[in-house]
Amino acid sequence: MKGEKEIKKFVKDRYGEIASKGDSCCPSPCCAADLAQQAKSMGYSEKEIRSLPEAAVMGLGCGNPTALAELKEGETVLDLGSGGGLDVFLAAQKVGEKGKVIGVDMTTEMIEKAEENARKGNYKNVEFRLGEIENLPLDANSIDVIISNCVINLSPDKLATYKEASRVLKPGGRILISDLVTEGELPEDVRRSFDAWAECIAGALEKEEYLNTIKKAGFREVAIVAEHAYGEPGMDAQLQGKIISIQVKAHK
């Protein structure tokens, strides 16, 4: 596999470009030209989409983690890889004025975009921090719920990411993660492709390995609460049927 630093730099540059230029990462299973339609296909309702700043809907993701996270008023929520802030803003609506939602992203351009969206939407209970999900800029035992949407597959070190998630969660805290995994091994040429890493494919683990990684990080009651085959027209034939979108819930 390519070096972790090389992978991170490529992914960071790609998503920084997406944020600054308004591009999408198409063609990939992470996004589509019609961003609102893509959001609906991932489980977001028309009402949710209309409630958000338009620029927050970027066609990035593989699920709607806020729909299954059972967020409660007053909770403190962390979004790993928060991008333009879509899931942060939806979570903010659920936790209310007494709650708080923090988004962490490794690209300055995404943080700036999210903060601009927060100003436009007049969100007062959100905050965005620059940082890597393998080394979170948060105190231990400070978060009630962690959500993430098709981001952890981009990390070359998923065990470190989940250990960090466990560190910042309060005892009894929970995670609801939307991510991509595989059924069986991916072809080696895909694993070696920088583009495939940025498109949420090359970094995807085999499903059971992914679940075991969460358990190794110390989480309990690890369970898939939703899953479906993932793909789009024109997807590489050697990947057809191999990519799966899952939503995983677990507790610290």
Tens-place pLDDT, residues 8-17: 787 777 777 7
Nearest 5°: the CA angle 221, 128, 66 is 40
Q: Would you give the DSSP letter of residue 202?
A: T
* pLDDT band, very low/low/confident/very high, at 25 (cuts 50, 70, 90): very low
For the record, the structure tokens of 149 come out as: 């949407």
- Name the band, by pLDDT with cuts 50, 70 and 90, for residue 190: confident
- Find all residues with CB under 8 Å of 122, minimum gap 6, and list them: none
Mean pLDDT in residue range 92-116: 95
Kind of pairing, strands 243-251 and 220-229?
antiparallel
Phi, psi dihedral angles at 246 (to 5 degrees): -125, 155
Comparing 24-28, 32-36, 147-151, 180-184, the range with the smallest average pLDDT is 24-28
User: pLDDT tens, 44-74?
Assistant: 666 766 766 666 665 566 678 888 889 999 9
Length of the chain: 252
In the chain, % of residues over pLDDT 90? 54
Predicted TM-score of the model (pTM)? 0.86
Q: Give the residue numbers spanning the domain of 198.
A: 4-251
In the predicted model, what is the mean pLDDT of residues 158-163?
Answer: 97
Element (H, E) at 37: helix 35-41
Percentage of the chain beyond pLDDT 70 is 76
Q: Which residue has the tokens 């979170």?
A: 136
The CA distance from 197 to 138, in Å, is 26
Amino acid code (one letter) for 3: G
Q: Scanning the structure block, which residue is given the tokens 């034939």?
A: 237
Q: How many domains does the chain have?
A: 1
How many Å apart are CA 102 and CA 133, to the nearest integer? 13
Average pLDDT, the chain: 83
Q: CATH number of the domain that 85 lies in?
A: 3.40.50.150
pLDDT in tens, 114-139: 999 999 999 999 999 999 999 999 99
Q: What is the pLDDT of residue 42?
A: 59
Give the per-residue pLDDT at 93: 95
Say what the pLDDT of residue 71 is.
96
